[in-house]
Structure 1
Amino acid sequence: MAGYKEPGFQDRTAAAAAARAKALAKLQAKPAVDPELEAQRAAKAAEREAALAEKRKAMQAEREARAAAKLAKAEAEAAKVAEVKPELTEAERKAARDARYAARKARKR
């Protein structure tokens, strides 16, 4: 009866090469692509892109509308301030300043 024979260097390298070849074959083996599934994926991707583009367009329009409303409000406010506030004389400005000073002093007491 023969005893256990320890594998030599050539046996180990051959086993390693065979394992490498087997792993490489496993990685290279790709399943066949189903054309119907690929078409569905492409359609979904196109649908997502269209929805995203629509959303971006809506957001841009909303931003522009908000900016236009803000500008219109600022212009209206500027026009209102310009027509309501007439130019004060020096005496009127001094009287207003004195009244504010007196009100501030009264609040502190």
Structure 2
Amino acid sequence: MRENKVLPGFSERLAAQAEARKALLEKFKPKPTVVAEVLETREARKARELEEVRAKRAAEKEAARLAKEQAEAEARAAIENDEELMNQLRREERKARKAQAKVEARQKREMKSQMRRTG
């Protein structure tokens, strides 16, 4: 009889079954474990992450502080360079001084007046 090339024979089926069984058993064999060179504990990792967050926040704070100082310095420079604004500030300062002197003079007069009335 002629062998049918399309349909596998009994021995071929047995060989395929044996290969499948070997592959299945291979999955259950223990695999070699990978051991980290430097084992980091959970506490150490949390401490490291916390330190990183603190350092990042400190850097952000410092950057914000420097930016604020720079903005203030630029504002002061702009004010100093603006002559009209400087004149206005001088006028306001003079008005404030005169108003303060006026209040002090009034208080002095009232004290004199009160001293004359009482005694």
Q: Kindly indicate whether residue 58 of structure 2 is the aligned counterpart of residue 54 of structure 1.
A: yes
Instruction: Provide Cα deviations, 1:28-64, integer angstroms capped at 9, x if missing partner.
Output: x798xxxx92112211211121111111101111011
2:97 alignment counterpart? none
The yes-or-no answer on 1:70 pairing with 2:77 is no
5+ residue gaps, structure 1, are 1-5, 84-109
Question: Partners in 1 of 2:67 and 2:46 — Cα distance?
Answer: 32
Tell me what 1:96 maps to. none
Identity %: 20
Which structure would you say has the larger Rg? Answer: 2
Matched residue type, 1:71: A
Cα displacement (A) at 1:65: 0.8
Using the alignment, how far apart are the partners of 1:53 and 1:37 within structure 2?
Answer: 24
Runs of 4+ in structure 1 off by over 2 angstroms are: 79-83
Q: 2:22 aligns with which of 3, 15, 23?
A: 15
5 Å-filtered alignment, 1:1-109, equals: 8-22=15-29, 26=31, 37-79=41-83
Identify unmatched segments of 5+ residues in structure 2. 1-11, 88-119
